[in-house]
C-alpha cells in the first residue's frame, strides 16, 4: 500500500481498497498486504517485549500491555504465545519467561 497517499493507508481505508482490488481480480494483492501488515504487528510486539524486559517491567505489566496490544491489533492468541515463547533473550531468567507464558496462557483462555 506504499503507493497510496499516507492519509489513505490506515486500516479504516483497507475495506475500500480490498473491494476495489478484488473487483479487478487482484485478490492476491489484498492477501499480500494483509500478511505484511500482520507480520509488522508481530515484529512490533517482539520489539515491545525486548524494550519491556530491558526496562525491567514486571510480568503483570507486560501481560496487560501485550493483551491490550493484541486486542487492538487483532492478533490471535497463538501468534502472541509463539512470539513470547520464541523470544530470544539469553539474559531473561527462565522463571520469568515461564511466568509470563503461564500468565498469558491463563489470561487468554
Summarize pLDDT for 40-89 with one digit per residue, the tens.
888 998 888 888 878 888 877 887 888 888 888 888 888 887 887 776 55
Per the domain annotation, does 6 fall within a domain?
A: no
Return the residue matching grid coordinates 479504516: 12
CA atoms within 13 A on the CB side of 17: 19
Per the domain annotation, does 3 fall within a domain?
A: no
List, in order, residues 6 or more apart from 27 with CB less than 8 Å away: 21
Per the domain annotation, does 88 fall within a domain?
A: yes
Per the domain annotation, does 90 fall within a domain?
A: yes
Which segment, 25-34, 40-49, 51-60, 95-104, is predicted with the most confidence on average?
Answer: 40-49
Which pLDDT score is estimated for 106? 66
Confidence of residue 108 (pLDDT cuts 50, 70, 90): low
Enumerate the H helices of 1-109 as residue ranges.
11-23, 27-54, 59-72, 77-85, 94-108
Per the domain annotation, does 68 fall within a domain?
A: yes
Which segment, 4-8, 54-58, 92-96, is predicted with the most confidence on average?
Answer: 54-58
Per the domain annotation, does 67 fall within a domain?
A: yes
- Residue 61 CA from chain centroid, whole number: 17
Range of the domain at 56: 11-108
Check: pTM over 0.85? Answer yes or no.
no
Q: How many domains does the chain have?
A: 1
Per the domain annotation, does 1 fall within a domain?
A: no
Per the domain annotation, does 5 fall within a domain?
A: no
List, in order, residues 6 or more apart from 76 with CB less than 8 Å away: 70
Whether 45 and 69 have beta carbons less than 8 Å apart is answered as: yes
Whether 45 and 66 have beta carbons less than 8 Å apart is answered as: yes
Amino acid at each position: 500500500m506504499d503507493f497510496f497517499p499516507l492519509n489513505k493507508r490506515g486500516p479504516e481505508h483497507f475495506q475500500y481498497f480490498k473491494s476495489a482490488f478484488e473487483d479487478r481480480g487482484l485478490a492476491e494483492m489484498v492477501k499480500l498486504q494483509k500478511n505484511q501488515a500482520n507480520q509488522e504487528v508481530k515484529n512490533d510486539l517482539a520489539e515491545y517485549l525486548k524494550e519491556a524486559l530491558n526496562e525491567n517491567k514486571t510480568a503483570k505489566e507486560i501481560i496487560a500491555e501485550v493483551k491490550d496490544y493484541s486486542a487492538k491489533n487483532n492478533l490471535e492468541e497463538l501468534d502472541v504465545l509463539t512470539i513470547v515463547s520464541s523470544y530470544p533473550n539469553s539474559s531473561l531468567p527462565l522463571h520469568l519467561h515461564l511466568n509470563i507464558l503461564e500468565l498469558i496462557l491463563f489470561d487468554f483462555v
